[in-house]
Structures are given as C-alpha cells and as structure tokens.
Amino acid sequence: MTFRLSARPASIILLLLASWFAPASLNGQTPPKAMVLAWDGAVPSLVDDMLRRGKLPHLAKLVTGGAFANDVQPVFPSATAPGFASLWSGAPPRATGVSGNRVPKRPRSQHTVLESASGFDTPLEAEPLWAAAVRSGRKVVAVHVPFGGASSPGGLHFQGYAGIVSRDGVINARVSKPQLASDWKNMPASSIPPLEISFQIAASRFFGLFIDDPRIPREGYDTLIVAASRDGKHPACKLLSAPAGSRIELYWSSPVTVLAGSGDQATVYFRLFELNADGSDFLLYFTRPTREVVSPRELVNDAPAVVRSFVGNGGTLVYSQGGFGKTIPDGGDGLAEARYLETVAFAQYQLAETMRWAAARISWDLFFAYSPFPDESEHSWRGYLDPRLSSYRVEIARRLLPYVEKVYQTCDELLGAMLARRPPNTIVALVSDHGMEGVERQVAVNKVLEERGFLIFDERGRVDLTKTAAIYGGANNAFVLLNTTDRKGGIVTPERRGEIARRVRDALLGLRDGDRRPIAAVYDTQVDGAALGIGGEAGGDLYLDLLPGYEFDPRLRASEVVSSREPHGAHGFNPARPSMRTIIVLSGPGIHAGRRFEGASITDFAPTLAKLLGIAAPRHAAGRVLKEALAEPH
C-alpha cells in the first residue's frame, strides 16, 4: 500500500470552480456528485497487464488520480444478477433475494424446487444506492443498469434489457437468395438491374433491394435498400456495404421499427458487412429487436433516436455459431472476429451516446451506467487464453488476445466518454461484478444425485417430487436445493435435513474424474450461510465449489457425469477463488489519490460511496466503508 499525497493543480482548480458555481449546502460545502460505470466481468490480470502497456488510457488516468483494488471479492454465486444486486445494495445474496441469474420461485410454500424465475426481474429485497440517494433528496440517472429500471422522483431510468423481444441475427443468400427485382414502385437509380431479397424480423416482413448506385464508382452492386414493402420511395434504411472495422456512424443504419409478436413496436439496427459485386452473396446483420423501456418516458421526448433505441449486446451468438464466418479457433483468419468486434463497438457506441445525452440534458446527482462488456467477449474467448486448460494452444491464444484487448479498449473509451462529461466536484467510480475463468469440462450434479438415489424420475422421465430429496436446480446457481417440507411438494422434514445434507455432501465430494475430484467443496447454508452471505428464502441449501477448469452442467438428465466441451469463459464459482476477483476504482473528492487497497468485497462499494456522497447508506448494507481508499480525514 502506498501513502502518497498528490497535489494536482487541475483538480484544485476544478474544486475551486465547483465552489464558485455550485450552491452551497448548510455546512458550507457542496456535497459531491458521482458517476458510476460498471464493466461486466472485468478480469483484473488482463486489466493490470493492459494498464502496464498503456492500452487503457482513461482507466490509467482514473487509477492514477484515485484508489484502485484488483482483488475485489464478488458474491456466491459470482454471477451477474447477484453481483449487481449486492454491488448496489451493499447486502449479500442472502439479503437481496437475488441468488442467481435465475432464482427459485417464492414463496416456497407455493412453488416446487423445479420452478424458477429471472433473477434480473426479481424485486430487490435490499435497498439500492439510488433509492438511498433519493431518500436523501438526490436525483438519479441510471443507464441500462441491472436492477436500475425503477422510476424515482425527478430521475431518469433507462432499462433496455427489459425490452428485448428476440435475438439478433444475420441474413445471407442462404436465407434469402437475391432474385431479379420485379413489381417495385419508385425503383431507385441503378447501373445494373436491381436484385431483391425478403426476410422476416420478429413479426415484420422486410424487402431488400440491391442496386449499383451510379454515384458510387465501385463496380457492381454496392448498396442495399431495406423497405417494409416493394417501394423505394420511403425506405426504412439504405446501407452501403463496407468491411468490418469501418466507421460506425457511416455504415450502421438508424433505428428501424419492427413489430414485436405482441403487436407493439421495437427497433433494430442493420449493418451490411459484405455484398458481392455480382450480388450472389451478402451478409446483413441486425441487432436484437428491443422495445423502448424508459421511466419516465416524457423525459426522453427530445432525445435522438439512438438514445431511445437500445442495442445492449454484441453479436456473440452469431459469432459463436459461425454466422460471421469461421472463428479463429475453427481455422478462420480473423474476419469473423473483426465483424463481431464491430458489433461490440456499436453496442458501446449506443451506450456512450445515451450516457452523453443523459448526463448533459437531465439534472442528476448520481449517475449510473452499465456495459455488458468485457463479460460477453470473455465468455467467448477466455477458454482459449487459459494455459492451464488441456486444450490450450499458444497460437490460438496469441491470435485471439488482440481482439480481447480491443473489447477492453471499447470499455475504456466508454469510460472516456463518461470522464468527458464529468462535472466539477464529481466522484467517478468504476466497478465490476465478477471475474472469469477458462473451462473445458462440465459436471452434471443431477446425474450424481440420480445415481445416488436423491433425485428420482417417474416412468415418463419427469422428476418425482414425492421421492426426490435433492436437485441441482435449472437456475444453475452453484447450489443444490433440498426438497424440504417448507416447499410445495417437499418431503425432507426438518428432522431429516441434517442427515440428508451430509449424505448429499459426501456423495458430491466423492465424485471422481480420473484422479481428480471435480467437486472441491460443499457449503451448507445452515452452517456457513451467515458467514458466506448465502442461503435465505431465495437461496440454496448446499453451495458447491468446483475444481478450476470445470463448470456446472445444469441438465436434469445428462448422459455422462463429467464430460468435455469446447473451451470458453465461465464464472459463478466460489467468490474466494482468485479467478473470480474483480476491480473497483474510486476517484474524486474525498478519495485518496494513488492509493492501492486490498481485501475489499463488492458489498463494500455501496456503503463507501454513500459515505463519500454524504447520504445515508442503503438500508440493508452489510459491507464496510473502505476507509483505506478515502482521503484524510475520515
């Protein structure tokens, strides 16, 4: 730990400006504002390495002027929904009610161990920071932040993830073969006969027209007109084909309206990555159709379309299924990665535009923004970067690493966009919810439970709850549920619980994969629940830790107990594991510049920020104030 006093003239001037222009509070000091950016799944080892090589300039600036921890412990399971529930509330999953990305349905008396619901849509049982801020009279903006969809007086909450209608995808000649166009009205000028395609997105039918625009010198077809009918007069968009890596503002469409199945409107963006000069093939990508979910809606009436039309994620499914071409691990030359990377850059661009608009146009004291990166890309690639895996090939790792780094650089640019909108006397915090680890083997816990007689199926292959004592739930939360009598259809009485828990534990710890024991530890919530912050009404009974390189196979009836799968990145494991650790950076008024601190948990973030802002800590916060990150005197 370093104790370095930093006298930075620029920040002193900013503080002076703040005190001149901002209204003074009762004690003569204006309370600071705060901007909080969350990077999902930031891996500290890569962040450190890129910082050392000068590849994350905005983060470097934040770290130099602030306090930085790179061993921050997430919660159990180290997944996104429980991570953010705990980051924003300072309370462990046991208290937030968010025990995973999916959670067992409650109340227990009305739902069986087989039922689960989305963890992201679960109402937080612990008060989040923004509610505490509003309680203290502060105004909040939340930009697509997990659990940040609530409205607050005078605040603005974007919640694009709640509006996603269906997945993104690609259209190519195999989906719709270009044919000579016929029956079009208002055909645009073309040097050669136009070709047409048609395709469906959500409940909307589209017609496409390939033309050779006479104003574009390029030989052959170069432009795609997309329209809701065979009419070139008012096309939904006009796309020029350009290779991946081209400028986003020039080659991505404006938001195009599509109908969701329910009849309401959603929007997509298009990108034409490829168009052969002879029109024989093309690659048209569209983002996930998404409804506009903002509260209150009237605050975005004058916002540009890009602010109101959410993208959210990159084309990770398209990429992994080969829709952008062969991936590098599959023998590709990097074209698929470059295309995927542009979808990442576009998702980040849409977030940055929303952030810029909201930060400038809406009054706020506390500003939250979230990016799903690097997590999304880490899932695709971390398995190829981890030299401990048996499938590791140095050549593949060497070729993929630059793309992984570019994703982190898009995150850094998003941070830069936030820093550019930072008013004087404003704290900037960068947080993350978990780390990532490469995995290539999976453990079907339910197969073990079935073989040992804890999980019973009837003759039609359904779980027989009248005989089942334990199950690894479909929610896939690193925990086993005991079918206790407080649950609907439960059979394990309080008297038998201890004995059943012990027998399940012994069965799981006894599992072998060659000479390895893939299930490394089992934690009983009746013993360790309070200390580890696990369990509770929405939690599990036995939380499992696996050996590095293994992940859970959540299927009810897998054919093998332990099996191999293609390498990829995973998280959700025991938060004490070094690979699950992540980062926190705090910078600004009240924070010790140049400080490194250790041993923090993500539950410490909310009470620490509340302290810095001079607001009450969230009501259920159990984390501590990170005094070592604060400037004296505190």
Name the site residues for Zn ion (rule: CB under 5 A): 375
Q: In sequence order, what DSSP letters do the residues of 429-447 get, joined into one string?
A: EEE-S---EEEEEEE-HHH
Residue type, 152: S
Residue type, 508: L
Query: For residue 199, what are the contacts with CB-CB under 8 A and spacing of at least 6?
Result: 171, 175, 176, 205, 206, 208
Least distance (Å) between residue 379 CB and Zn ion: 6
Nearest-CA neighbor of 258 among 330, 163, 379, 363?
A: 163
Q: Which is nearer to Zn ion, 74 or 529 (CB)?
A: 74
Least distance (Å) between residue 383 CB and Zn ion: 13
Residue type, 406: K
Q: Which is nearer to Zn ion, 81 or 209 (CB)?
A: 81
Q: Which is nearer to Zn ion, 212 or 375 (CB)?
A: 375
Task: Give the containing element (helix H, strand E) for 401.
Answer: helix 394-420
Least distance (Å) between residue 571 CB and Zn ion: 6
Least distance (Å) between residue 90 CB and Zn ion: 22
> 215: burial class by Cβ within 10 Å (0-12, 13-18, 19+)?
exposed
Return d(Cα 4, Cα 96) in angstroms, integer: 37
Return d(Cα 187, Cα 196) in angstroms, integer: 11
Q: Which is nearer to Zn ion, 292 or 375 (CB)?
A: 375
Q: Which is nearer to Zn ion, 168 or 375 (CB)?
A: 375
Least distance (Å) between residue 338 CB and Zn ion: 23
- Residue, CB closest to Zn ion: 375
Cβ distance 620 to 90 under 8 Å? yes
Identify the sign of the CA torsion 492, 494, 495, 500: positive
- Indicate the DSSP class of residue 504: H
Least distance (Å) between residue 158 CB and Zn ion: 21
Rounded to 5, what percent of the chain is helix, strand, coil? 30, 25, 45
Q: Which is nearer to Zn ion, 376 or 524 (CB)?
A: 376
The SS3 assignment for 408 reads: helix
Least distance (Å) between residue 375 CB and Zn ion: 4
Q: Which is nearer to Zn ion, 81 or 397 (CB)?
A: 81
Structure tokens at 558: 């897998």
Least distance (Å) between residue 40 CB and Zn ion: 7
Cβ distance 484 to 497 under 8 Å? yes
Q: Which is nearer to Zn ion, 325 or 438 (CB)?
A: 438
